[in-house]
Structure 1
Amino acid sequence: MTQTDDPRPVDLGATAQPARRSLNGDHPGDVGTRLPPLVDHHVHLMIVGVDALADSSLAGIVDLGAPLDLVAALRSRNGFPRADFAGAFLTVPGGYPIGRPWAPEGCAHEIRPSDRDERGSLPGPAETAVAEQHAFGASVIKVALNAAAGPVLDAATLDEIVRAAHDRGLPVVAHVEGERMTRRAVEAGVDALAHTPFSERVDDELIAQAVALGQRWISTLFVAGYGERTPESACAIDNLRRFRAAGGRVLYGTDLGNGDQPLGVNPAELALLAEAGLAASDLLEAITDPWPRPAGATGIATFVPGPPPADLDAVPGWLASAVVVPAEELEAL
């Protein structure tokens, strides 16, 4: 973790506001900091369970891979955290994550390449797969580009998926792993990466192309080494540091369900983001970005009791102590 010699509270940015909890709510009169809702942009409810985060500090999650019956069941569910879904992984026959012990039946949709000349004006397998996820309530489309685990979508099929998703106003997020998979995602116009690339060094030119595209990278640095220094974790931190320095948009995400992680904010993930060069205000920006939802009033807020952190090292633990509250329960100071 990056240290600072400045004893003053760190700059948390404009979204952090001093606040007091109303006398009409729980813990009346507590003083602390109001933040926008906290979001984990990469979780798997099919692994951790649909109710696992109900009492956590998270107000929102983005589920990046689940059977469509789970998406349908939770589409109109009330309470927090509110969820956005990708639906099934779109992959090739036998491609990732098919056959993984953690991947239940129905969490992947296998797409066979088709000849456009043969089908004429009829929708092809890629467009049909995107339409199915959308019909079940998906607000983002997930594609698997894991060359380290087997076959992957060819460039033409990936282009069809991206085009079909964008026609419906849906962003596309890709799991990239293996040589040149980041390049394939960038060249196809993929909107976000589900993980910071950890299996290949992304050169500065390609990073510049990703930034120019407006691509977002979801962090998931912790699962690259589970707290240990590994070649994968070092690669991911280096890639993210250069992506951020080039102006790239970073989203906090943990891949919750992958390994042993806390059910809520993971301070270790935030500490690794700080190591990759994110300042305190950048950490807040990454964890409060509403993507894939548009920004706007939600009626809820985050409250962190007590004084703000005095240095960058204290920010992860401070955020982990946050609670979700109705916005009307907080009074500005």
Structure 2
Amino acid sequence: MLTAAWPVRRHATGETGTSLPAFADHHVHAHLVDIDALPARGIARVLDLGGDPAALARRPSGLPRVTYAGAFLSAPGGYPRGRAWAPDAIVCDVSNPSPHPGVPGGARTAVDAQADAGATVIKVAMNADAGPVPSDEVLAAVVAAARGRGLPVVAHAQGPGQVERAIEAGVAALAHTPFDPSLSRRLLAHAAEAGQIWISTLDIHRGDARARAIAHLGAFAERGGRVLYGTDLGNGLLPLGVNRRELLALQEAGIRGDALVASLTDPWPGHSDADAVRSFIAGPAPTDLDDLASWLSHAVVVPTEELTRVD
């Protein structure tokens, strides 16, 4: 029995089914996909983790509800600068740790630019496998400036030592489950104890990288780590809407039952304001938890007023 599930009747169709809190994808890139298609396929809220802050600020309100980081904060020449999918507007170079506003290339200047455009998180690129990464001084300054604006920092941490650096700097969340081969159990426990959040993005991987990511996420969750469903939508051929393969990978990592639903419905980085809509799935919730991922992938977003509880 799922704690958050309601048995309901849907007025528009007469169907009976199950209602759950609105689902979120905690890692998308809206400039690369048609996010307007997502509510019909189960996603009511998205967190954009790398886009043009001006374009995101202009997006009209409605579904899916979009919160965003704005541009990647990156070392000059670092990831994702120069990638075909990353126009200049989605990358902001940070070259020094200045805490003063208006300093070109300064950490405070970069954070302020995203926050002033409406960002609710700050994204920092720490991909050492793909170029230079911010220094310890710059990273600390970005985290401090973000805290000054009341915003958490989320990092793409990849390559030797980057997950460790993110934890020590006080980065609130990792945009991807780490898939580096050399993460110790002590490090995974440290991440969980520090209260760090990991966004899953397991389905972007294949082979050994996928196996490592699933193993790391399972160990992190076992130690109390907070896990959010996210797909990195826009990265390759991922399905629009609730991704059954992502959910199956989460289950493989041990994120099952209520924990799997919680990864989909967690309101981070804000507070839930999605009471006006719910996720609806025709039919009763499955009694076999092995069937849960496939069942959840059939969700649609509907107005709460369209549903009547029947229990």
Tell me the TM-score range normalised by the shorter chain.
over 0.9
Match of 2:174 in 1: 193
RMSD: 1.6
User: What residue number does 2:187 align with?
Assistant: 206
Matched, 1:270 2:247: yes
Unmatched 5+ stretches in structure 2: none
Residue 286 of structure 1: aligned partner: 263
Aligned to 1:34: 19
CA distance in 1 between counterparts of 2:248 and 2:101 reads 49
What amino acid is aligned across from residue 33 of structure 1 in structure 2? Answer: T
Shift of 1:21: 1.8
Q: Could you tell me how far apart the structure 2 residues matched to 1:163 and 1:56 are? A: 38
Please say if residues 9 and 308 of structure 2, whose CA atoms lie closer than 8 Å, have aligned partners that are also in contact.
yes
Match of 2:116 in 1: 135
Picking from 84, 87, 108, the partner of 1:104 is 87
| SS in structure 2 at match of 1:106 | helix
Q: State how far apart, in whole Å, the 2-side matches of 1:299 and 1:51 are.
A: 18
What's the % identity of the aligned pairs?
48
| Deviation at residue 245 of structure 1 after TM alignment | 0.2
Query: Take 2:87 and 2:102, find their aligned partners in 1: how far apart are those partners?
Result: 28
Q: Which residue number corresponds to residue 74 of structure 2?
A: 91
Give the aligned partner of residue 52 of structure 2.
67
- Flag the 1:171–1:281 CA change in 2: closer, same or farther, 3 A: same
Partner of 2:145: 164
Q: CA deviation at 1:327?
A: 1.2
Q: Identify if the C-alpha distance between structure 1 residues 327 and 132 changes in structure 2 by more than 3 Å, giving closer, same or farther.
A: same
What amino acid maps onto 1:44 in structure 2?
H
| 8 A contact 1:178–1:200 mirrored in 2 | no
1:158·1:188 contact (CA, 8 Å) conserved in 2?
A: yes
8 Å CA contact 1:201, 1:235 repeated in 2? no
Structure 1 position 293, deviation (Å) = 1.3
Shift of 1:113: 1.8
The answer to whether the 8 A contact 1:196-1:239 is kept is yes
3-state SS, counterpart of residue 20 of structure 1: strand
TM-score by length of 1: 0.89
Would you say how many aligned residue pairs link Structure 1 and Structure 2?
Answer: 308
Check conservation: 2:177, 2:201, Cα contact below 8 A: yes
User: For residue 7 of structure 1, what is the aligned residue in structure 2?
Assistant: none
Deviation at 1:50, TM superposition (A): 4.9
Residues 1:218 and 2:204 are matched in the alignment = no
Q: Match of 1:236, SS? A: helix
C-alpha separation in 1, matches of 2:261 and 2:274 = 17
